[in-house]
Amino acid sequence: MKIAVDAMGGDNAPQVVVEGIEKARDQWTDLEFLLYGDEDKIKKYLKNNDRIKIIHTTEEILGTDEPVKAIRTKKNSSMVLAAKAVKNKEADALFSLGNTGALLASGIFVVGRIKQVDRPALMPTLPVVNSALGVNMLDVGANAEAKPAYLQQWAVMGSIYARDVKKIKNPRIALLNNGTEEDKGDSTHKEAYKLLENTEEINFIGNIESNNILSGDADVIVTDGFTGNAALKAIEGTATTLLTQMKHSLMDNGIFTKMGAAIVAPSLRGLKDMFDTSKSGGAVLLGLKSPVIKAHGAANSETVFYTVKQIYDMLLNDTVNKANKYFEQMSKD
């Protein structure tokens, strides 16, 4: 099993990438890596090149680049060349910490779609209050428009993923909607509800409202990319705002409060840990011929390690092909 890695993406590249990859290489002896990036910079951090091959690249896609334009004009960038390796079957999966939009575009236009899936979906793992497994939500923004049939396909892929990678026997699949009753929503979501209800492959538990995303009531939440994007960013924004304000409340209210803050700090750090899903790896672009995974630009080497674990689980379980086969079978029936 070979993973093509864009070593230049992310805020701390290539250092955290190289460190995480080496740790993963030492852990799983049947994994090989193709590292795309600046050879000198990579070598600066690389301890040994067992099962790691560096492919020197000079171009780099930046976080500020316009995605589709970037992959068209920077054909020799580390990201695009890594994607091409997957397309040409020189590698089995694509991994990057770089520009999300550009990785989506690389996945769709270079790696390519599963024939039976209309649109790939982006699926991160979000924290929940009662389980370290978190909740997977898709689509959170690969698509601005959605049809009910897309949501059905995403539900099936999310369910297979939760079984294969998160080892959940019978994943609970919920539909993000504006109420819990089955007749809720706009026409897209009403129709999606009916499709999901009649999809035998999945354990559909009904609608979920976005105030319950973090509640742990579902294992996989299906949503159109526009609403999913809004809900995800609202969660991130609120968490950031509250934690920042909490810090101000503790640090800017005099020496006495500061002393109290020092006492409670270790316990409050647990709060931050609750919102840490780094062990779940990165966000998966589902619906492509091979696993394409995006880790956060600010990810550390530990997250890189766990993202490799996540890719390893997907390859070991042939997760992508299972979905493929299911959809082929469905289209025949």
The binding site for a second copy (CB under 8 A) comprises 129, 141, 144-145, 176, 178, 184-187, 189, 209-215, 223, 225-227, 229-246, 249-250, 253, 256-257, 259-264, 266-268, 270-271, 274
Alpha-carbon distance of 210 to 81, in angstroms, equals: 38
DSSP category for residue 288:
B
CB of 274 to a second copy, least distance (A): 6
Q: Which is nearer to a second copy, 226 or 326 (CB)?
A: 226
C-alpha dihedral sign at 43, 46, 50, 56: negative
Cβ contact 114:320 at 8 Å: yes
CB of 221 to a second copy, least distance (A): 11
Kindly list the distances between the CA atom of residue 261 and the CA atoms of 182, 247, 254, 269, in Å, as whole numbers in the listed order: 46, 9, 11, 11
Give 237's Cβ-side CA count (13 Å radius).
Answer: 6
CB of 9 to a second copy, least distance (A): 19
Q: Which is nearer to a second copy, 169 or 254 (CB)?
A: 254
Q: Which is nearer to a second copy, 36 or 193 (CB)?
A: 193
The residue among 170, 166, 172, 171 whose CA lies nearest residue 281 is 166
Cβ contact 9:297 at 8 Å: yes
CB of 267 to a second copy, least distance (A): 4
The residue among 90, 127, 94, 96 whose CA lies nearest residue 236 is 127
Q: Which is nearer to a second copy, 99 or 229 (CB)?
A: 229
Give 202's Cβ-side CA count (13 Å radius).
Answer: 33
Q: Which is nearer to a second copy, 262 or 316 (CB)?
A: 262
CB of 276 to a second copy, least distance (A): 13
**Per-residue tokens: 218:** 């579902």
Q: Which is nearer to a second copy, 106 or 227 (CB)?
A: 227
CB of 149 to a second copy, least distance (A): 17
